[in-house]
Amino acid sequence: MIRVLIADDEPLAREKVRELLAQRDDVEIAGEARDGEEALRMIIESAPDLLLLDVQMPGLDGFEVLAELDAQQTPAVVFITAYDEYAVRAFEVRALDYLVKPFHRARFHAAVDRAIAKPTDADAIRALLAEIQRPSLTRFVVRSADAIYFVPAAEVLWIESAGNYVRLHAGSGEHVVRTTLRELETRLDPQVFVRVHRSAVVNLEFVKKLEPYFHGEFVITLKDGSQLTSSRSHSARLRELLRS
């Protein structure tokens, strides 16, 4: 029996999918998520075999949900989307199955059959995420031993590299997120977050003062009193943004 998680913010859409799944005797519904945050929690907690994932959801969209999962946590996926020509081409190139709303019964069952017969390659999903242009992060997903919670990007003063993790320095304290600083930097708003050192990114909204240091470097004082030193290779970009 295949355990299926439905993730869609539209109640009528979830109802339609639920009714179609009820026509099958090889699946059971593991749960229904009403938004991306709930979907992420349920995937991690219940480990479904198949995810029927709406791409356009509030909070975290479908792509952002998948970006937070390790390869071992990623179930087979059938994407559900309103028509988006670019996204559909990307699905087809990566041999990922999708349903365009409104979809018909036969198309739905064919997609589920294919997903069951040949589970989604996690590498194909990673390639898709690298190709799709996603909006800048507005919040960070932070996992603790017993919960998942969210830290608004606007509250983060600076971000510190810690190997395969980053440490968020925010008004609410320090939070550790499993990603590299290089990977994270591609998702940050470049007009707000700027790399000042190979191991540090700063939120410009919290920069209080810049003081010239040696060899074109700067001592950066943040509004909470924290101090960082920019490297010479990143100082020009910092100076440019603060003057704009």
Q: What is the pTM of this model?
A: 0.66
Nearest residue to 3 via CA among 61, 104, 70, 76: 76
The predicted pLDDT at position 203 comes to 94
The predicted pLDDT at position 242 comes to 64
Q: Give the pLDDT means over successive 10-residue stretches in the chain (244 positions).
A: 94 95 96 93 93 86 86 89 70 81 92 89 81 76 80 94 91 87 84 90 92 82 92 76 64
Give, in degrees to the nearest 5, the angle at Cα 179 between 174 and 180: 100
Domains, the chain, with CATH or none: 2-131 (3.40.50.2300), 154-243 (2.40.50.1020)
60 Cβ neighbours under 8 A, 6+ residues apart: 35, 36, 37, 39, 40, 68, 141
The predicted pLDDT at position 222 comes to 94
CA dist list (Å): 64 to 223, 228, 236: 30, 30, 32
The predicted pLDDT at position 191 comes to 86
Three-state secondary structure call for residue 198: coil
Tokens of 118: 């040949």
